Chain A
Amino acid sequence: MSSRLRGRPLVRTSYAQDMALLNTPAKRRSTIAIVIASFLVPFLVTDDLLLVLTLGMISAVGAIGLNLVTGYAGQVSLGHAFFIGLGAYTGAVLGGDPDAAVTGYGLPIYVWLPAAGLVAAVAGLLVGPIAVRLRGLYLAIVTLGLVFLGDHIFREARDLTGGPGVGRRGPDLVVFGIDMGESGVVLGLDLAREQRQFLMALVFLIVFAVLARNIARSGVGRAFSAIRDRDVAAAVIGVDLTRYKVMAFAMSSFFAGVTGALYYAVVGVFEPSAFGLLLSVQYLAMILIGGVATISGAIMGAIFISSLGRISGEIAHVLPFISESSGTDGLLSVFQLEAILYGVLIIVFLIFEPRGLFGIWTRIRNYWKGWPFSY
C-alpha cells in the first residue's frame, strides 16, 4: 500500500487511492456524518414520516438499479415495474403465510430476499438480448410492453397474487429473529414498528448503495459508460456489447427484485395493478430528478419522489385559495391540487435543474469549495 502524505490530503500516490470509494477527506467525513445522522433520525421524527422515509430508502435501491441500466449503461428501460413486481411476488410467495388463501411457503428472509432478486435477474437476462437489437425509444416502448405483459400474468395467476382488487399480503419481515412488524423492546431500546423498519431499510440501502458504487467504479461500470456514450465506438475498442448490455439488465433487475420484495413486505397488502406504467415512470422520474449516472443522485431522487405526496399535501393545505372540500365548490379541491402539484413539481424541477438534485448538490458543493471566492 502507499502512504498518504500528511497535510497534503489530495495528493494521490497510488491508483488504488485514486479509485477509492471515498477518495477525499471531505467525502470520508461527510459520509460518516450522514450515516450517523441517519441512524439518529428514527428517534427524532414522527412515525408516519418515518414510514415515508423508509419506503423512500427502499425504493432508492430500485432507483439505483434503474440508474445502472439507464443512467450508466444508457439503455432506457420502462419495464422496471415488471421486475419490481416479479421480485415482490417471488418474495411474497416464498416468504408469505402458508395458511392464507394464496400460495405461501413461510421461508425466512435470507431465502426470499435473494430469491426475489435472482428471479428478477433471470428475467432481466432474458430481456437483455432484446436490448442489443433495439435502441432508444423502440427499446423503451418494448420494455413498456413487458410491463403490460407482466400485468396480464400477475392478474391471471390468482393463486400467487390474489387477483386484481383483492391482492395478497407481502412476506413476513423477521430479520435475525426480530419481527419488523411489531413494536416493542429490542436490544435494550423501545422501538416502534416504523423505527425498526427504518433502521432495517437504512442498512439495506447502505449495503446496496456500496455494492452499486463499486460496480460503477469497476471495469464493468466503465464498460457501461462507454456503451452509453457511443456503443459503436465501445464495440470498436473491444467492449462486448451483448455481454455488457445483458449484464446491465440483469443487475438492474436484481436490484429491482430485492426492492420489490422488501418494499411490499413493509407496505403489507398489495395487488397486481401496483406494477403498471405509473410505477415505471415514477422510478424514471426518481433518477432524472435525482441526477442520472450518480448513485447519491438516485438516492436523493427516490427519497424526494417518495415524499412528494406528503410535500404536496402540506403545501396544498397551506395555500389560501384552495377549498378544503372534496366536492365541486372552489376552483380545485385540495386533493386535486395535491395531484397537480405532484406533476408541477416534477416539471418545475426538470425545467430549472435538468441535472437534478445531484446537480444542485454539485453547485452547493462548488460554492463552498470556492468560498469566499465563489463567484
Chain B
Amino acid sequence: MKLNRHLVRTSVVIAATALVLTGCRSSSSDEDSGAGPGISDEACPDAVNPDNGCISLGVISDLTKGPFAPLAVPITDAQKAFWKKVNEDGGVGGYDIDIASNIADAEYNPEIHNRKYQEMRKDILALGQTLGSSQTLAILEDMKDDDVLGLPASWNSAWEFEDQILESGANYCFEAMNGVDWAVANRGVTGKVIAVGYPGDYGGDAAAGVEAAAKANDLEFEKIETPTGQDNQAGAVAAILKAKPDLVVVTTGPAEMATIVGGTAAQGFTGTFVGSSPTWNPALLKSPAAPALEALFFQAGPWGPFGTDTPGHEAMRTALGDVTPNDGYTAGWTWSYPLLAALKKADEDGGITRESLVAAASELTEVDYEGILPPEAGATQGDPADVAYRSSVISKVDPAAPTGVSIEQDLTTGPTAEAYDFSKPCFSLQ
C-alpha cells in the first residue's frame, strides 16, 4: 500500500509539473528568426537540406477515434511523403517544408480541433490539412485573424467560396451531377433516382447535385438520409426496395455503402449504384456483397485511383514505397499540389509570409498536378462559377486493380455540371 501511495503521489506531481512547465507564459516571446510565424531561417528538424530555412505546416486530422480515422491516416501519410519529396527536390524558395512536427489528432471533434489549433497557431505558416466541415468552421474565424491558409480534407462546394480554404478536385455536388449524367448515358437510367447519404454537408452537397441532374435529365428525384453504422441501414434498404429506382447515388462511408448495395441486391434489386469518392474501400472485394458491387457499383471520384498511370500517381507510389494501396493516399497527395504552387508563387511575388501565401492562393491560374488533374483545375483566380473544376472520373470495380477500382470514364464534365449556375454553395455550411 505504501508503494501505491508513493506511486500515485509521484505520478500526480509529475503530471501537474508537466502541465505547468509546458504552460508557462514567456514574457519575451521567442519569435522565429525569420520572416514571421511558421517560417524561419533555421533548418528544420531532421532536415533534408540543412542549408535551407524551414516552413512549418500544421495538420489537424482525425487519427484515432473518429469515424474518418481509417482514411485520415493514409491521407496524412501521403502528405508527409509529398512534402518530403518536395524537400528532396530542393524545397521552395530556399526553405524546406516541415509537416511532421505539427500533426494533431482532433478525433473529429470541433472542440478538440479548436484546442489543437490554439496550440499550434503561433508555430505554423499554413494548415496542410484540416479535416471536417464543422471542425474547420470552428477555427475559420481564427484562421482569418491569423491569415492562415488551410487545405480541407473534403470536397465541399462551400470551400470554393472561402478564400481562406484551398481545395482541389471537383466537389461532391458536381461529382454527383457527373455520376448521374454518366449513368443516364451509359446505364440506361430513365425513371427515378434516389440520393442516399449522411445527413449534413457531405450527403447534402451530393443530394443537391443529384437533384439538379435529375431535373436536367427529366428524372424523378427522392432524397433519403441515413445514419452512420453498418447496422443502421435497414431503413435505406427498405426505402430503395420500395421505390425501385433505376439509379441510387450513395454518399456514405464504405461499410454503409456495402450494406446498402448488398442488402438491396440480395432482395433482387438490379439498379445502378454510383458512389462518391469516400464510399469505396478495397477490402470490400472480400465481402459477401462483392458480386453485387462488381455488377452494380461505380465510383465517381475527383481523379484516377491509386493505380492510375500518370506521372503524379507514379511519383506518389514511388514516394510512399511499399504500402497497402488505398485512395486516401491519392487524396492526401493530390490535395497538396495547390499549396506547393501557392508557395512557389508567393516566393516569386516577393517572399513567403502568411499574408502573401493567402494572396497567392487566390491568384493561381494553374497548378502543376503532374498529370493527375489538368493544370487549369487548380485555378483559383476569378469567380468560383468560372474557375471551379467540374470534371469527375467514373471507376468500376476491378478485382485486379491495386485499390479494387479502375477507370471506366476518365475526367469528363457532364452536361448538367457544365451548365450549372455555381453562384453559391450547393449546400450552405453557415
The size of the chain B interface, using a CB distance under 8 A, is 51
- Choose among B63, B80, B100, B112 the residue with the greatest number of A CB atoms under 10 Å from its CB: B63
Which A residues are in CB contact (< 8 Å) with B242?
A: none
Q: With contacts A52-B115, A166-B133, A326-B103 known, is A274 near B64, CB below 8 A?
A: no
Hey, what's the 0/1 contact readout for B98-118 against A, CB within 8 Å counting as 1? 001001010101111011001
Contacts A267-B110, A309-B112, A326-B103; is A49 near B19 (CB within 8 Å)?
A: yes
> Which residues in A have their C-beta under 8 angstroms from that of B135?
269
A314 to B22 Cα, complex, angstroms: 8
Residue of B nearest to A268 (CB): B138
Cross-chain contact A352 with B64 (CB below 8 angstroms): no
A residues near B18, Cβ cutoff 8 Å: 311, 314-315
Q: In angstroms, how far is the closest chain B Cβ from the Cβ of A342?
A: 9
In the complex, the answer to whether A165 meets B133 with C-beta atoms within 8 Å is yes
> Do residues A352 and B12 form an inter-chain contact, with CB atoms below 8 A?
no
User: A38-46, A70-78, A114-122, A250-258: which one contacts chain B?
Assistant: A38-46
B25–A352 touching, CB < 8 Å: no
Complex contact B428–A268 (CB within 8 A): no
Bound together, the chains give a CA A190 to CA B137 distance in angstroms of 27
Q: Is the interface of B mostly helix, strand, loop or mixed?
A: helix
* B33, CB-defined interface residue at 8 Å: no
Is B22 touching A49 in the complex (CB atoms < 8 A)?
yes
Q: Is the CB of B199 within 8 A of A333?
A: no
Q: Residues 317-340 of chain A: 1 if any B CB is under 8 Å from the residue's CB, otherwise 0? A: 000000011111000010110110
A270 touches B111 (CB 8 A): yes
A100 at the interface (CB under 8 A from B): yes
User: What secondary structure prevails in chain A residues at the interface with B?
Assistant: helix
B141 cross-chain contacts in A, Cβ below 8 A: 268
A360 engages B12 (CB within 8 Å): yes
Which of B3-11, B393-401, B412-420 lies on the face that meets chain A?
B3-11
How many chain A residues sit at the interface, stated as a range, is 35 or more
Q: In the complex, what distance in Å separates the CA atom of A151 from the CA atom of B90?
A: 51
Residue in chain B with minimal CB distance to A304: B15
Which of B19, B24, B74, B201 makes the CB contact (< 8 A) with A310? B19
**A48, B63: Cβ atoms closer than 8 Å:** no
**From B109, B114, B428, contact of A274 by CB (8 A):** B109
Task: Give A331-363 as 1s and 0s: 1 = Cβ < 8 Å from B's Cβ atoms.
Answer: 001011011000000001100110001001001
A204 to chain B: closest CB distance in Å? 18
Q: Is B315's beta carbon under 8 Å from chain A?
A: no
* Bound CA span A274–B111, Å: 9
* Interchain CB contact under 8 A, B111 and A164: no
User: B116: shortest Cβ distance to chain A, in Å?
Assistant: 9
Contact B64 A335 (CB under 8 A): yes
The chain B residue sitting closest to A338, CB to CB, is B105
Given contacts A46-B24, A335-B64, contact A100 B430 (CB under 8 A): yes
Determine if A165 and B199 form an interchain contact, defined as CB atoms under 8 angstroms apart.
yes
Decide: A335 and B105 in contact? CB cutoff 8 A: yes
Q: In the docked arrangement, what's the CA distance between A269 and B117, Å?
A: 14
Task: Name the CB-closest residue of B to A264.
Answer: B111
Chain A residues proximal to chain B, CB less than 8 Å: 43-49, 51-52, 55, 100-101, 155, 162-167, 194, 267-271, 274, 307, 309-311, 314-315, 324-328, 333, 335-336, 338-339, 348-349, 352-353, 357, 360, 363
Give 16 A-B contacts (CB < 8 Å), ordered by A residue.
Answer: A51-B114, A55-B111, A100-B430, A101-B428, A162-B134, A267-B110, A267-B111, A269-B134, A270-B134, A271-B110, A311-B15, A314-B19, A327-B74, A335-B63, A353-B8, A360-B9
